[in-house]
Amino acid sequence: MEYRKLGKTDLELSAITYGAFAIGGNMWGGNEKKDSIESVRASIDHGVTTLDTAPFYGFGLSEEMIGEAIKGYDRSTIQLLTKFGLVWDGSNQGKGEFFFDAEEDGKTIPVYKYASKASVIKEVEDSLRRLQTDYIDLLQIHWPDNTTAIAETMEALDLLLQQGKIRAAGVSNYSVEQVSEAQNSIQIASNQVGYSMLNRGIEQDLIPYALQHDLGIIVYSPMERGLLTGKYFNEGKLKENDHRNGYFQQFDLKKVKTFLDTIGPVAADKGISLSQLVLRWTSLQPAITVVLAGARNAEQAIANAEATAIDLTGDELSFIDTALSKI
């Protein structure tokens, strides 16, 4: 496993980081708790020291399972990353910015972007309880809240830093302009954003900014929610309540399949999976600090962890980039 320094902090994160969105269950067609916890532990046992979660994932369930999964491990060797700013329980009392309606157990649950100082403080206490820890290594705002001044949100993070409840402050889904504004208040360690072979928009602005200002970049959806594994084209239908049924329709699926068929021999020659090849390519892109990879069971978790051991030559990277240019 490779370990990388996050921005200007003293945090060392595993280049492949466990992404805990799917184990929360909501939006992913559900998952077995036993498999989820085993996937976390298998990740840790194979060098993945960094776990990324959020209160919204399963409405607290993902954080609770992470807290349970890390029992028995030395807490100081694990980096817990979580978020705030998506609320659903009415604690915002009608404030904030409506985001979308989530579905849970047949019920519609309105989700709001809300990051007032008081709300942030409350969310952190809830996360600490669910994670069964007394500090969070990196706390990130989940999505920008256009109803709360960035300076107010950053004031909450500064207080939490002073109290020792968080080790570093980050943002997620922020534009370069929003990151720059947040930096006027406190040191921002990182920005967590979507990035993949099929979604390279941040290369135009965020990556140059990160390189210039030593900002960490944590990327999610490197596999485009499983599309780049190739399984979608081979294994057929997803569960009816799986959000990916709609998500995948934004891509030219015929071109994506052609691309995966083109780079497949590179993976085959190395005796690795397409997933591992895609993860390794992503981790080698400029300014990318860590790559989030989800896993539903121990087998997937181990495969993800082993991706950083893959050696890609300059010719192989060029071959992949040429194939990508045709999508």
Mean pLDDT for 170-191 is 98
What pLDDT score does 24 carry?
67
Mean pLDDT for 131-138 is 98
Beta strands 50-52 and 16-19: pairing type? parallel
CA 7 to chain centre: 17
What pLDDT score does 29 carry?
44
Residue count (the chain): 327
36 DSSP 8-state letter:
H
Percent of the chain residues topping a pLDDT of 90? 79
What pLDDT score does 35 carry?
87
What pLDDT score does 248 carry?
81
194 three-class SS: strand
Q: pLDDT class for 184, splitting at 50, 70, 90?
A: very high
Q: What's the pLDDT tens digit per position in 209-262?
A: 999 999 999 999 999 988 898 887 776 666 666 777 788 888 888 898 999 999
| Residue 194 pLDDT greater than 80, yes or no | yes
Q: How far apart are CA 35 and CA 297, in angstroms?
A: 5
Output the pTM of the full model: 0.92
Q: What's the pLDDT tens digit per position in 248-294?
A: 888 888 898 999 999 999 999 999 999 999 999 999 999 999 999 99
Question: Which of 97-101, 167-171, 310-314 bottoms out in mean pLDDT, i.e. has the lowest?
Answer: 97-101
Buried b (16+ CB within 10 A) or exposed e, 244-276: beebbeeeeeeebeebbebbeebbeeeebbbbb
Q: pLDDT class for 92, splitting at 50, 70, 90?
A: confident
| Residue 193 pLDDT greater than 90, yes or no | yes
Q: pLDDT class for 27, splitting at 50, 70, 90?
A: very low
Q: Which of 14-23, 120-129, 253-262 has the highest mean pLDDT?
A: 120-129
Question: Which of 36-40, 74-78, 123-127, 186-190 bottoms out in mean pLDDT, i.e. has the lowest?
Answer: 36-40
Buried b (16+ CB within 10 A) or exposed e, 144-181: bbeebebeebbebbbebbeeebbbbbbbbbbebebbeb
Strands of the chain, DSSP E: 3-5, 12-14, 16-19, 50-52, 79-84, 86-87, 97-104, 107-113, 136-141, 166-172, 190-194, 216-220, 288-293
Q: In the chain, what are the domain boundaries?
A: 3-245+276-310
3-state class percentages of the chain: helix first, strand second, coil last, to nearest 5: 45, 20, 35
Q: pLDDT class for 28, splitting at 50, 70, 90?
A: very low
**HSE of 191, CA atoms in CB hemisphere, 13 A:** 26
More confident residue, 105 or 141: 141
**Average model confidence (pLDDT) for the chain?**
92
CATH code: domain 3-245+276-310 is 3.20.20.100
CA 208 to chain centre: 21
Instruction: Check 18, 57, 114, 232 and give the catalytic one.
Output: 57
Q: pLDDT class for 14, splitting at 50, 70, 90?
A: very high
What pLDDT score does 296 carry?
85
Whether 57 is a known active-site residue: answer yes
Q: pLDDT class for 25, splitting at 50, 70, 90?
A: low
What string of DSSP letters covers 131-190?
Answer: HT-S-EEEEEESS--TTS-HHHHHHHHHHHHHHTSEEEEEEES--HHHHHHHHTTS---E
| Residue 200 pLDDT greater than 90, yes or no | yes
Q: How far apart are CA 164 and CA 159, in angstroms?
A: 9
Mean pLDDT for 97-125 is 91
